[in-house]
């Protein structure tokens, strides 16, 4: 390995004539067929009748060909274990595409990059099998150079198979993440070989270490040199260094290390998510032969039981959200704009960290976390050798675990947002000798690739092994740098007595126990955070957060709910991006708000509301309860104030002092009358208030677009739909049908609402509002110009949104 230290003043980069052809977007013009056709791998196969799609693409959320009482939109009521996956199908499908090499690329290596495919994927080029990949969440790539014709068109064919009974939650199906293609010279920077770390990160200076590999695939030795530049804001060069000549043997590789000192660096944190770019240029003679851009952040991580988690020397309490990978109505597709929106929603609702439960996320998601400022626990697996589903990854773990964990770490190790690696969740064999050996191998592999982050795992109580007791988890925890406790906050203090050096966090917790969890995070320095299940609603594990009305106060043991439930319903944020009631409580808990007011729906006489484990009471920010006049409704006031008073139409209903035992909650029973319900917080002689008002009848639809202009060729616009009254207030009990009309050349990707129940297609032009709200998502095509989206309802005035596509 060659190693150099550069302490060089800023200068302008030399201008080189070179066109970078690394990781070019390869999403357009794929042909798709759902079904299994063995001959589709062949070059001469006629796919002219197949559908043309632009990736990312998830065929599981497209409407079923047959529509009847069983097949409703994309949903299959009779799908085996349908409750697990939201009644959304998998199955076999094919993707095909043509590729012709330009003159400048005929002598280059050609590499196809897949950020993920669901689930088992086989690639053929010109009828010859190139390789396969079996895990739906890890990135992979193939060098297809030797399979290509230089002077005629090439056929690329992929078969994907998303098997039934392979997952505990919705996975999606198909090429649901980005695909890229690279054309590189025979001497080039090795893919994923560049690692950027900071051995010193302070306000005054930073030492940035850049390790990379140069690969020579020719039969001759060569001399090359490398230019390294670091950019800020993609404009100003902060540092520039040029290495001496490097000799590379034929069919060999050289490792190269740079250490660059930067003065007064911008440190990455959730509050200040600053991202740098390193540009590596490979030069042979006077010609640039390769160029690589790599983003990174400058920050320091420190974990200990004494001081907790320190980011850049300052304590950070992890306000965490567990999240699955889907994007709600869009299915599993990981459009960069959708991933960015999801990260923004989490940040806007108070979260500063996510756990990617229970699999590696998309590259687009991590890029968004880097830019927006969300810390990430990057998780690898939900199962090892012991299965949770008969067709799950456990069948392939033994053969592919090392490749998958390697690909995850290599792709993700330069993301400043990633602060921990997780090797698994609720692993069945976690304390058995076989599981201990697997954990050791996983940890060893990770540490070989990245020594800058701790390794963790989400460990659960032995509900899966009746008769075992919690203390038997010790062998699993002993291997970990940081211990993830799933639903076991009651063991923190007791375990600390026996293991005083153990660093802990709540890797999963229930929304209705958020107070208890967060109090311990604040109190105990060795408990560094809490991750609620979940930050956002997701498809599958249908109805695990349900509540029911029963005549006895007994816990509801049904894990999932039957049709028509298809959403888990446990998220702080619903599947179209709106706050749910537990999110308002969390705002008070995290002191983002000091007062919130919610009302429970009328409870049937003679019954009790019984919550399932992840459930939350059926309350909302609504004072629209027509038909329930004079009936007592339960009103919850969540507050940090020591005392609250409740008024209805200017008359005092009652007041309460808040004690620690109340867990930030004051509850009142209020006979319903339309008008204004007001909660008033009292502190130090001052009053602070929030109110709910009975709205008028909805008279007009309202559209709010996320952007008024987007780029052509696959960009997205999210359009919120609301039913509002004459004052512009959302009418929360409006469930009107809405028709979508589009004037312009765009794709309607989704139109629907946040209801946990199946209502029909989520991609056609008609849907119902839920609690007065809905969502429309459109995607640009190749055409520029203005597009008009119109929402129409029989009972309200229509609304328009105009989008410019450039």
| Whole-number Cα distances in Å, 452 to 367, 402, 406 | 19, 19, 15
All residues at 6 or more sequence positions from 290 whose CB lies less than 8 Å from its CB, including other chains: 22, 184, 185, 187, 188, 189, 281, 282
Total Cβ atoms within 10 A of residue 318? 25
User: What is the Cα gyration radius of the chain?
Assistant: 28
Question: What angle, 0 to 180 degrees and rounded to 10, lies between the N-to-C axes of helices 514-523 and 581-589?
Answer: 20
Q: How many other CB atoms are found less than 10 A from the CB of residue 672?
A: 22
From CA 431, how far away is CA 156, in angstroms rounded?
44
Q: What is the pLDDT of residue 239?
A: 59
Q: What is the pLDDT of residue 11?
A: 35
User: Residue 285: left if φ>0, alpha if ψ -120 to 50, beta else—which one?
Assistant: left
pLDDT score at 238? 66
362: three-class secondary structure by DSSP: coil
Count of residues in the chain: 806
pTM given for the model: 0.96
Neighbours of 454 (CB within 10 A): 18
Residue pair 564/588 in contact by the 8 Å Cβ criterion: no
Instruction: Report the relative pairing of strands 252-263 and 2-6 from DSSP bridges.
Output: parallel
Q: How many helices (H) and strands (E) does the chain have?
A: 9, 52
With a cut of 50, which residues of the chain have pLDDT below it?
1-16
- Cα gap 323→341, rounded to integer Å: 14
pLDDT at 3: 44
**Each residue's pLDDT tens digit, 249-301:** 999 999 999 899 999 999 999 999 999 999 999 999 989 999 999 999 999 99
The region that residue 234 occupies, defined by phi over 0 for left and psi between -120 and 50 for alpha, beta otherwise, is: left
For tokens 């109505």, what's the residue?
A: 329
Tokens 């690898």 belong to: 380
User: What are phi and psi for residue 341, nearest 5 degrees?
Assistant: -60, -40
Residue 725 and residue 695 in contact, taking contact as beta carbons nearer than 8 Å:
yes
CA distance 489 to 482: 15
Q: Give the span between the Cα atoms of 353 and 270, in whole angstroms.
A: 9
Query: What is the pLDDT, as a whole number, of residue 2?
Result: 43
Max Cα separation, the chain? 90
| Pairing of β 222-232 and β 276-284 | antiparallel
Closest listed residue to residue 264, CA positions, set 205, 216, 212, 316: 205
Cβ atoms of residues 623 and 694 within 8 Å: yes
**Which pLDDT value is given to residue 10?**
33
The C-alpha atoms of residue 327 and residue 592 are separated, in whole angstroms, by 26
CA 186 centroid distance within chain? 36
DSSP 8-class letter at 414:
T
């Amino acid at each position: 390995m060659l190693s150099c230290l550069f302490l060089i003043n800023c200068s302008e980069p030399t201008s080189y004539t070179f066109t970078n052809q690394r990781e070019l977007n390869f999403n357009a013009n794929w042909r798709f067929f759902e079904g299994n056709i063995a001959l589709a791998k062949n070059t001469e196969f006629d796919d002219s009748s197949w559908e043309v799609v632009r990736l990312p693409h998830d065929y599981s959320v497209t409407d079923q060909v047959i529509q009847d009482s069983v097949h409703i939109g994309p949903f299959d009521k009779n799908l085996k274990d349908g409750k697990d996956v939201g009644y959304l199908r998998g199955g076999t499908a094919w993707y095909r595409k043509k590729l012709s090499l330009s003159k400048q690329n005929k002598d280059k290596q050609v590499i196809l990059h897949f950020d993920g495919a669901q689930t088992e994927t086989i690639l053929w080029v010109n009828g010859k099998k190139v390789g396969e990949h079996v895990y739906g969440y890890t990135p992979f790539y193939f060098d297809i150079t030797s399979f290509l014709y230089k002077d005629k068109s090439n056929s690329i064919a992929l078969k994907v198979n998303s098997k039934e009974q392979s997952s505990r939650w919705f996975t999606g199906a198909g090429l649901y993440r980005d695909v890229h293609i690279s054309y590189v010279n025979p001497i080039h920077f090795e893919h994923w070989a560049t690692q950027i770390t900071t051995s010193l990160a302070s306000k005054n200076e930073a030492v940035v270490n850049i390790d990379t590999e140069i690969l020579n695939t020719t039969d001759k030795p060569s001399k090359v040199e490398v230019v390294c530049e670091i950019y800020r804001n993609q404009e100003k060069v902060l540092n520039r260094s040029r290495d001496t000549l490097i000799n590379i043997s034929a069919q060999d590789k050289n490792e190269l290390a740079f250490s660059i000192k930067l003065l007064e660096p911008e440190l990455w944190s959730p509050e200040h998510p600053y991202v740098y770019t390193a540009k590596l240029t490979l030069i042979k003679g006077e010609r640039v032969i390769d160029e690589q851009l790599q983003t990174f952040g400058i920050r320091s991580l420190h974990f200990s039981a004494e001081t907790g988690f320190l980011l850049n020397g300052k304590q950070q309490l992890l306000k965490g959200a567990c999240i699955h990978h889907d994007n709600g109505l869009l299915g599993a597709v990981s459009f960069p704009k959708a991933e960015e929106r999801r990260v923004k929603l989490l940040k806007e609702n108070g979260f500063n960290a996510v756990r990617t439960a229970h699999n590696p996320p998309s590259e687009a998601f991590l890029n968004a976390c880097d830019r927006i400022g969300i810390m990430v626990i990057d998780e690898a697996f939900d199962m090892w050798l012991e299965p949770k589903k008969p067709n799950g990854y456990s069948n392939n773990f033994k053969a592919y675990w090392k490749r998958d964990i390697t690909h995850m770490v290599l792709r993700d190790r330069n993301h400043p947002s990633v602060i921990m690696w997780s090797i698994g969740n609720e692993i069945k064999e976690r304390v058995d000798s076989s599981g201990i050996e697997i954990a050791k191998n996983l940890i060893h592999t990770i540490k070989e690739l990245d020594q800058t982050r701790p390794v963790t795992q989400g460990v659960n109580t032995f509900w899966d092994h009746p008769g075992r007791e919690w203390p038997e988890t010790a062998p699993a925890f002993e291997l970990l740098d940081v211990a993830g406790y799933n639903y076991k906050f009651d063991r923190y203090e007791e375990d600390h007595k026996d293991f005083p050096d153990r660093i802990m966090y709540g890797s999963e917790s229930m929304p209705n126990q958020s107070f208890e969890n967060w109090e311990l995070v604040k109190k105990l320095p060795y408990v560094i955070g809490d991750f609620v299940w979940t930050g956002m609603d997701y498809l599958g594990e249908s109805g695990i957060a349900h509540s029911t009305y029963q005549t006895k106060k007994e816990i509801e043991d049904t894990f999932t709910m039957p049709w028509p439930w298809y959403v888990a319903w446990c998220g702080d944020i619903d599947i179209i991006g709106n706050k749910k009631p537990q999110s308002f409580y969390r705002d008070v808990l995290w002191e983002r708000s000091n007062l919130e007011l919610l009302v429970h729906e009328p409870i049937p006489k003679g019954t009790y509301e019984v919550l399932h484990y992840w459930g939350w009471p059926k309350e909302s920010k609504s004072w629209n309860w027509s038909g329930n006049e004079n009936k007592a409704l339960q009103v919850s006031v969540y507050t940090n104030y020591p005392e609250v008073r409740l008024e209805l139409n200017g008359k005092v209903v009652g007041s309460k002092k808040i004690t620690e035992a109340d867990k930030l909650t004051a509850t009142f029973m209020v006979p319903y009358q339309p008008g204004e319900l007001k909660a008033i917080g009292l502190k130090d002689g001052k009053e602070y208030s929030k109110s709910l008002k009975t709205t008028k009848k909805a008279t007009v639809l309202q559209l709010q677009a996320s952007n008024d202009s987007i780029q052509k060729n696959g960009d997205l616009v999210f359009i919120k739909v609301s039913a509002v009254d004459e004052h512009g207030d959302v009418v929360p009990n409006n469930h009107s049908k809405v028709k979508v009309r589009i004037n312009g050349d765009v794709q309607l990707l989704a139109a629907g609402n946040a209801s946990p129940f199946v209502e029909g297609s989520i991609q056609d032009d008609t849907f119902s509002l839920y609690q007065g709200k809905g969502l429309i998502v459109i995607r640009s095509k190749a055409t520029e110009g203005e597009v008009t989206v119109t929402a129409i309802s029989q009972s309200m005035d229509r609304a328009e949104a105009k989008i410019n596509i450039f």
